[in-house]
Amino acid sequence: MADYNTLLFETSDHVATITINRPEAMNSFTRQMMDEFADVWAKVSFDDDIHCVVLKAAPGRAFCTGVDVKAAREPGGEVVIDDPWNAEDPGNKLGPKANNCWKPVVCAVHGMAAGGAFYWLNECDIVICSEDATFFDPHVTYGMTSALEPIGATYKMPLGDVLRMVLLGNDERISAETAKRIGIVSEVLPLEKLHDRAAELAKIIAAKPTAATQGSLKAIWQSLDLPRTVALSTGLQYCLLGNPLGTSQVDRATLMADKAKKFDLR
């Protein structure tokens, strides 16, 4: 796809910016958006000029409120396959890791992030949010089993907080500061500074050798599916494969000689 209807895509200085772009529907996702995300992640993966990604949403009350229930009810708009024996998780098209994209992704969340929004939150590498951000999972309130998004969230959030979010449904929302405390996000900013900060982080990451950043991400994320000893052994193979590529892309002597290098303390 050269053009997209549900998202915006642009690149500059080795950074791709993807904007979820359905503000009239709380940036909720449809079948078309899922297909477009599958396409854009493939585009990012195979474009060597892209080193990092910023994922954000169009301005409005929500980053994303999950699936667009109204659109799903329209003819041809079904999101879930009726045959349970051949059904696949429709959200697998949304996140970078499910689409084998190992370019680092910085996610900037504003407003409401609910339900299916966790398909992105669970798979982005750095998630930051604005002070007005809230996080919740409404599934059980509407009589729906909540499984896929919260299972993914258990790899970032404490189990007790995931269970509380799921069971309380629409009756409680996680604030930005609580989201930082429990690991959903790593930084909270005023809304007007959110997207500039995401771009700043992405620029820093994009300046690093992409062989090193992609190899690191793939090793770490794939280790989550492995027992500890197997994960460490597999991780060594990533180092043996990736280090010759990554170190050739930097001037190590110059980096080490820069004694006056500045750094941020978080």
DSSP labels, 174-234: EEHHHHHHHTS-SEEE-HHHHHHHHHHHHHHHHTS-HHHHHHHHHHHHHHTTS-HHHHHHH
Q: Which comes out higher in pLDDT, residue 223 or 87?
A: 223
Give the confidence band of 86 by pLDDT, cuts at 50, 70, 90.
confident
Gap between the Cα atoms of 68 and 79, Å rounded: 9
**Longest Cα separation, the chain:** 64
- Does residue 41 carry a pLDDT above 90? yes
Query: pLDDT digit string (tens) for 185-209?
Result: 999 999 999 999 999 999 999 999 9
Domain boundaries, given as residue ranges, for the chain? 7-206, 210-254
Q: What is the pLDDT of residue 81?
A: 56
> CA end-to-end span of the chain, whole Å?
40
pLDDT tens digits, 160-169: 999 999 999 9
Degrees (nearest 5) of the Cα angle 110, 34, 127?
30
Q: Could you tell me the two tokens for 184?
A: 């959903």
Cα distance between residue 261 and residue 255, in whole Å: 9
CATH, range 7-206: 3.90.226.10
Share of the chain above pLDDT 90, in %: 81
